[in-house]
Structure 1
Amino acid sequence: MLTKKGDVKVLDFGLARWLTVRSSSKRLRAVSSAEAESALAIADDANNVWFPVDDSSATVLPRTRKEAAGKHFHRTEAGVTMGTPLYMSPEQARGEELTVASDMYSYGLVLQFLFTAADPHPSGLTAREVILRAARGEKVAADNVPGDIASLITRLTQYAPADRPTAIEATARLKFLIDRPRRLVRRAAIALAVLLVVLASWRYTSDLARERTAAVTARAEAESRRAQAENLIEFMLGDLRKKLDTVGRLDILDDVGVRALAYVDSLDPSKLSASDLARNAKALNHLGEVRQTQGNNAATALFERSLKLAGEALRREPRNPEALLTHGAAHFWLGNGLRLQGRNDDALPHMRAYMKDGDLLSEVNPENEKYQLERAYGHTAVAQILEAKGALREALDRYETSLRIKSRIAEESPADNDAQAELTRAINKVGAVEYKLGEFRDARANFEREVAIHRALLARDPKQTQWKSRLATAMAYLANVRYNTGDTAGAATLWNEELTIERELAVRDPTNVDWQRNVAVTLRRIAVANATSGNRESALAQFAEARQRISRVADIIPKREYLAIDRWAIDVDYGRALLSFGAGGRAIPLFAHVLDETATGTPNDRLHVLRARAALNLADAQAKTDPRAAEQNWRLAENEFAAVTTAITEPYLLDSLFRVLLHRGRIAEAKQILNRIRSTGYSSAELEKLCNESGC
């Protein structure tokens, strides 16, 4: 449909297209119901239809643009119907004034096509025959379509515009379908994408050039539809994105993202309220999240634009909650992108700004749980960067602030599973830093608390796989503390229970790389414990399975350094076990291979420690047969430990450092390290024997 200004009124997903024609004194108009049988209709290559005004115009018109070249045709004018007849509403086919209800009818036909893969009119009809059917509101039945979808199609394609659902009602129904089985998710998502186009496009095509009273009404309606479009964008790029991410189909949102971006670009910030600015900034954040998940570098620019819009909203209303939320989120995503690149110094200011917004937000409404959680997230974000930079004390302060907030929320809502799950994450962060600081008693208490909460959550819902996975992780932390404080039996019990859970999860979802990796890592820990206690056969079998599993995972997602480090760590511990079992000849190639492969790795503390342990064990294996090579490798181990930037607190690593210092003749320093090891409760008769022999 053309407005009086000559603008296309309907949408370009098969409903209307521009035709470039030369001017003429004759008008073209649509068929009326009385003239439908005598009207002539022809189609070009896109199935667009032209209707001549009377029989004198009933010449044979070209069917392609190529045939039309150099010829004169009538120019379309206001009141002329133009579009793809397959998806026309009855009122559009009759050339009547159009409303959103017309687009909803056409959308119903598109929805039918999405779920049937068949056109809504029989094949083989001419454009004239199709337009006549459309004018009468006829279409083929939507067969073999799920009941809920069929019902929605029927309502959308009612003959009377007033009987059709609004876009809001259609959106609500499709949102419901997103939570249905996975086979419906993709098609329902595409349907929502089309509906987004319906809503957003109407924002641009509403004809407001009427008398003042009508203009006011139309403007209000346009604003309402704009809000509908923005809410739908938020849903699609927010909630729907999460659903599609789980089935690996974020690509479905690519076109939605382009249109959402075009929509935001069209807005004049000076004419928007603070809430409108915040809402559109939020849409940019959601789109940035999609792009970041896809590994698209365009994400950074989107977050920066969001930050600018949200900043303008805060300039106008400094305590606007939505603006604070969105402004903080933009800072978080920018900081997180930098963190993932290893640029912690650049990331920290963004995370501090995010924390500041959360603190202000919690002051706006101290009783609002969502705002309090946002404050907790801000402190956690800053703490993570500080922890990565080695500022453990300051990081612990921030983590403890987050823990206090989440503890209060969990205490007020003991039956709220989400609140309890949030609490476990905060407890884990505090315990992990305490562990790094060597405060093992406090760390153990926190990890025990975390395990207890996870057990309680699983008792409520034993089939919740995410809680099972988190319970296994909590057990790993607690087992490490116990092992490093001398409770080897307690650690082994936890590791074995953890392994049982992880094997179950790995079988449940063989495609989950993290779950497959966890089995390998836990097998390594159990194998080390068995090797230490002299259980040779079990240890070797567990090392063999761990090596096999981690190699399979690395094959699935190659070039991931953390997986390579996992594999190297397993080889170092396996070699150490072989050495303790008197198979030094088999161990030497393992240590040498690890040192060769890690020589060009990106320097970081974990890699330095790994190389130090490989060099130490290789030197120990060479000591009797090649003393010169052994001395070189002890020196290499010494240099690698010296390159570690954060304090080493874990007793099993201090064990290796103690040995290196002894071999390098640094007796006084070795004695200090041994005293630190003793203070943790970690016991090793071998270390005490080495100390006595060296006179420390």
Structure 2
Amino acid sequence: MRFRAFLSYSHADAEWARWLLRRLETYRVPSRLVGTRGTYGEIGPRLGTFFRDRDELPSSGDLGTTIREALGESAALIVLCSPAAAQSRWVNAEVEAFRAKGHDDRVLCFVVAGEPGSPDPAQQCFPAAVLAHAGDGSAIEPLAADARREGDGRERAFLKLVAGLLGVGYDTLARREAQRRQRKWAVVAAASLAGMAIALALAATAWVARNDAQRRQAQAEDILGFMLGDLRKKLDTVGRLDLMGAVDDKAMAYFATLDPRDLSDRALEEQARALAGIGQVRLNEGKHDPAMAAFREAHARSTALHQRAPDNGQRLFDLAQAEYWIGFVALEQGRYDESAVWFRKYRDSGIRLAAMDRKNFDWQREVAYGHQTLAVLDERRGRYPEAEHAVREELALYRTWTAQHPDDTALRFEAANVLSWLGTLSAQQGKLADAEAFFTEQLAGMQRNIAAEPANAKWQDLRINALYLLVEAQAQRGRRNEALANILAATTSADALAKQDPANNLWQSPPAICRWWHAQLIATSDRATAIKLADEAAAIVTRARTAEPKNERVLRWLVMARNLQAQLALAEGDNRGAQAHAAEALALLEPAWKDAPNETLRLVLANNRILAGEGAQAAGDDAAARADWQQAEQLLTTDARDALPFERLDPLVRTLLHLGRAAEARLHQQRLTAAGYVPLRPFPQAERIAAQ
């Protein structure tokens, strides 16, 4: 063959192609492999020549004579796989032409971007012609060298590709490469020793000691780099979290012995990244104190780097990330004052970073993220007006950016997420009209994304979530007809997504949520249909929980479905069925509440106790009913900060009415009435409060 391989790639990956061609054409085969036989014949000292010519591609629909001849004279085909390559008709045509010659086993894939196996077509990286097909017609992904950072990495992927070209095992080639590096380093070490001998005669002993210390430090950090990188991945694969923790502890102990002032910029950068990685691993393991220690060490090194070059934007960016992580750990630990200090530093660093380069859009967005972190903190503290103020500042930025980039769907999604936050904060303050307006605008953004990218299932999923929020806001304002129309639209989309990918459990719950809302909206007008919808919702979310038994969101919706079944059974006079559904919901909910109580679970549990009390009252057990309602009252009045959260008012009014405390209930209903709130389920008729 004239060529060792033909490089097939998209124009978008030209830089990768140039890099790979240089590496392949200059690569020297390890001497211990030269002369041996690989799968495709005797191995020479060089890989040979490669064909990479994009300039001569014809504009017609045919590949052209030059390309076809080159394909026929190539022993292998290397496909640079990326979303751009997956969409390229030329790459696909080249693969088809090569495979037509019976060389299926010589097609080698080199992944540079995208996500292998992604259900999102925009992230798929393999061209259609590369994929083999099973007997049932489904695509089978090829084995590939993955050059992405989260894959094999550039160097390891390159060796895998070379092994495929030579027809030898990767381990064999990697071992020979390691031996060659060892010999190289042995020569380097020998040369260094000779240099040191000369240096001893020319320089002071202090210089020699310093050089030796730096060399040992570099060696130690190379070993640590391996331990925190490749070794960590292998230990994670086999589940040896204990060894991973030991590696992290050793690394932290070593870094603690070093003074940042004595380190080079490169050494500081490597250490800062390693420490940030250690912190994130420990955070994922729930080890907040060790995570905080790692992030503080990363911050110290990032601070030293920034002080050395205060005009270097990348160093300020790294410093800002360290500030964010320290604030985030403090937030997770409930140390809100400390978190506020670090989140303000993060926001201020983002503002300074944005001012450094107005054309760097990623840096501009750090300002928005800074506002968002402060809003999250204020929301956690129940300071809803302050949180709303921060998010409104963030929204002002996104309105400007989306006007400047009207076709950027990812940016429009981020803006829609900000609108969702504002809608939620408005609802938490009882500003229901504002909440509906924000959710309506959020929905419009997702619909624009769908119009721009109709094949992107992500936008469909996000549109469904936007519809949920809008339906709730409309239902709370008594706008049932609009809410019903929107939930029916959401149901159609949710059912379609669930059928599109039954294996995607995230898409299996939305049909149940849609049916839950539909049943709630028609519970008083068409009880038979509502019961049917509630039963369907419970069945769907039960299947979803079987697939993900530890998913709190799935558990919460299952409990809400059981509560709804109890509510409808009570309306039908089926007290036994109502009590059974309420008891089943409680059995599901209590362990989660004890393990990790939060506001969402609090409301679901309180509603469950209200329904249980109503069932007990209907069965004639007034003592049990009163005990259930007292438990609901305790849940709803505990940890209320300065004022009761708005979402607690409806269930609290019901509870107080059941307990015969109408005067107290009237005060809370006045807040509901002032907000324009209309309950989905009428308050207890016997003691219903007249609007004041």
Separation in 1 of the partners of 2:563 and 2:410?
40
Please state if 1:606 is matched with 2:529. Answer: no
Kindly indicate whether residue 468 of structure 2 is the aligned counterpart of residue 476 of structure 1.
yes
Aligned: 1:194 with 2:156: yes
Name which of 635, 642, 660 aligns with 1:640. Answer: 635
Residues 554 and 138 of structure 1, relative CA distance in 2, 3 Å threshold: closer
Cα deviation, residue 575, structure 1 = 0.5
The reply on whether 1:456 has 2:448 as its aligned counterpart is yes
Deviates more, 1:478-487 or 1:540-549: 540-549
Aligned to 1:578: 569
| Change in CA separation of 1:398 and 1:619 when aligned onto 2, cut-off 3 Å | same
Alignment partner, residue 552 of structure 1? 543
CA distance in 2, matches of 1:404, 1:109: 64
Taking the aligned partners of 1:465 and 1:500, their CA distance within structure 2 comes to 14
User: 1:308-337 CA deviation, whole Å, 9 max, x = no partner?
Assistant: 321211232344321221122233334445
Preserved contact between residue 285 and residue 306 of structure 1 (Cα < 8 Å): yes
Give, in whole Å, the separation in 1 of the partners of 2:313 and 2:577.
Answer: 64
- Taking a change above 3 Å as real, the CA distance of residues 519 and 372 of structure 1, as seen in their structure-2 partners, is same
2:28 is aligned with 1:105: yes
8 Å Cα contact 2:261-2:304 kept in structure 1: no
**What CA distance in whole angstroms lies between the structure 2 residues aligned with 1:655 and 1:547?**
24
The verdict on how the C-alpha distance between 1:109 and 1:194 changes in structure 2, with shifts beyond 3 A counting, is farther
Unaligned runs of 5+ in 2: 1-22, 51-72, 82-108, 117-124, 127-140, 159-173, 200-210
Q: Matches of 1:400 and 1:409 in 2, distance apart?
A: 14
Seen in structure 2, the aligned counterparts of structure 1 residues 302 and 145 have a Cα distance that, compared at 3 Å, is farther
**Shift of residue 122 of structure 1?**
3.1
8 Å CA contact retained: 1:403, 1:423: yes
Conservation of the 8 A alpha-carbon contact between 2:28 and 2:46:
no
| Corresponding residue number in structure 2 for 1:122 | 37
1:207-262 deviations in Å (ceiling 9; x for gaps)? 674889xx9xxx9xxx9xx9xx99xx99x99xxx9xx9xxx9999xx99xx99x98
Q: CA deviation at 1:487?
A: 0.5
Offset at residue 300 of structure 1 (A) = 5.7
How far apart are the structure 2 equivalents of 1:267 and 1:174? 38
Whether 1:380 aligns to 2:372 is: yes
**How far does residue 482 in structure 1 lie from its aligned partner after superposition?**
0.4
Q: 3-state SS of the aligned residue for 2:660?
A: coil
Q: Which amino acid aligns with 1:377?
A: Y
1:621 paired to 2:615: yes
Shift of 1:495: 1.4
- The DSSP-based 3-state class of the residue aligned with 1:504 is helix
What CA distance in whole angstroms lies between the structure 1 residues aligned with 2:428 and 2:145?
45
Q: Structure 2 residue aligned with 1:503, among 495, 501, 504?
A: 495
Greater mean deviation of Cα atoms: 436-445 or 266-275: 266-275
Question: What is residue 305 of structure 2 aligned with on the other side?
Answer: 313
| Separation of aligned partners in 1, 2:507 and 2:376 | 23
Deviation at 1:469, TM superposition (A): 1.4
Distance 1:381 1:204 in 2: 48
Q: In structure 2, how many angstroms separate the alpha carbons of the residues matched to 1:183 and 1:293?
A: 32
Tell me by how many angstroms 1:509 deviates: 3.0
- Deviation at residue 357 of structure 1 after TM alignment: 2.1
Q: For residues 109 and 592 of structure 1, do their structure 2 counterparts lie closer, same or farther at Cα, with a shift above 3 Å needed?
A: farther
The one-character-per-residue Cα deviations of 1:365-414 (angstroms, maximum 9, x if unpaired) are 34532222011112212211221221212211221221122222112221
* Residue 671 (str. 1) matches residue 666 (str. 2): yes
Label 1:279 to 1:365 Cα distance change in 2 as closer, same or farther (>3 A): farther
Which piece of structure 1 moves more, 452-461 or 263-272?
263-272
* 1:175 maps onto 2:90 in alignment: no
Q: Is the 8 A contact 1:275 1:322 kept in 2?
A: no
Paired residue for 1:415?
Answer: 407
Secondary structure in structure 2 of the residue aligned to 1:645? coil
How far apart, in 1, do the equivalents of 2:113 and 2:598 lie? 47
1:330 and 1:347 map into 2 onto residues whose CA distance is 13
Q: Say whether the 8 Å CA contact 2:80–2:112 is kept in structure 1.
A: no
Whole-angstrom CA distance in 1 between matches of 2:624 and 2:113: 68
Distance in structure 1 (CA, Å) of the matches to 2:31 and 2:383? 58
1:108, 1:503 → 2: CA distance? Answer: 61
Residue equivalent to 2:136: none
Cα-to-partner distance string for 1:32-76 (whole Å, 9 max, x where unaligned): xxxxxxxxxxxxxxxxxxxxxxxxxxxxxxxxxxxxxxxxxxxxx
Q: Partners in 1 of 2:380 and 2:251 — Cα distance?
A: 38
Residues 257-312 of structure 1 deviation map (CA, whole Å, 9 limit, x = unaligned):
x99x9899799954666577446634654575577668898866654443232121
RMSD after superposition: 5.0
| Residues 555 and 688 (structure 1), Cα distance of their counterparts in 2 relative to 1, 3 Å cut | closer
C-alpha contact 2:388 2:422 (8 A) present in aligned 1? yes
Say if 1:480 and 1:109 are closer, same or farther in 2 by CA, change over 3 A.
farther
Counterpart of 2:532? 541
SS in 2 for 1:661: helix
Instruction: Give the length in aligned residue pairs.
Output: 534
Higher radius of gyration, 1 or 2: 1
CA distance, structure 1, for counterparts of residue 499 and residue 77 of structure 2: 32
TM-score by length of 1: 0.64
**Which residue does 1:467 correspond to in 2?**
459
Normalization by structure 2: what TM-score?
0.65
Partner amino acid for 1:417? T
